[in-house]
């Protein structure tokens, strides 16, 4: 993990289903500043494919995805 990618905000979306992880991420990012990083915790494995697409569509930057089998940690940098 890159030190500068340490999350400024951690969003606990564990247990929430599609499209809530994306919806919550969008709402959280709105409050954040450009360049800040959010770490989304989710148990919805669709997020693994959906959140990268969401990033591409919204112009935000996907930092990385960590998958420990049950919970995904997805880090996104606000780029707009």
Interaction of residue 80 with another protein, rule CB under 8 A: yes
Contact set for another protein, span 25-54 (CB under 8 A): 25-27, 54
DSSP result, the chain: --GGG--SEEEEETTPPTTHHHHHHHHHHHHSPTT-EEEEEE--TTHHHHHHHHHHHHT-EEEEEEE-SS-EEEEEE---
Residue 1 or 35: the one with the smaller Cβ distance to another protein is 35
- Interface with another protein by CB under 8 A: which residues? 15-20, 22-23, 25-27, 54, 57-59, 80
Catalytic residue annotation: 18
């Amino acid at each position: 993990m890159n030190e500068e990618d340490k999350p400024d905000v951690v969003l606990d979306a564990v247990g929430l289903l599609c499209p809530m992880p994306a919806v919550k991420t969008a709402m959280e990012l709105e409050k954040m500043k450009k360049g800040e990083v959010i770490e989304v915790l989710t148990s919805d494995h669709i997020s693994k494919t959906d959140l990268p697409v969401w990033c591409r569509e919204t112009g935000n930057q996907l930092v990385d995805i960590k998958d420990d089998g049950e919970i995904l940690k997805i880090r996104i940098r606000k780029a707009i």
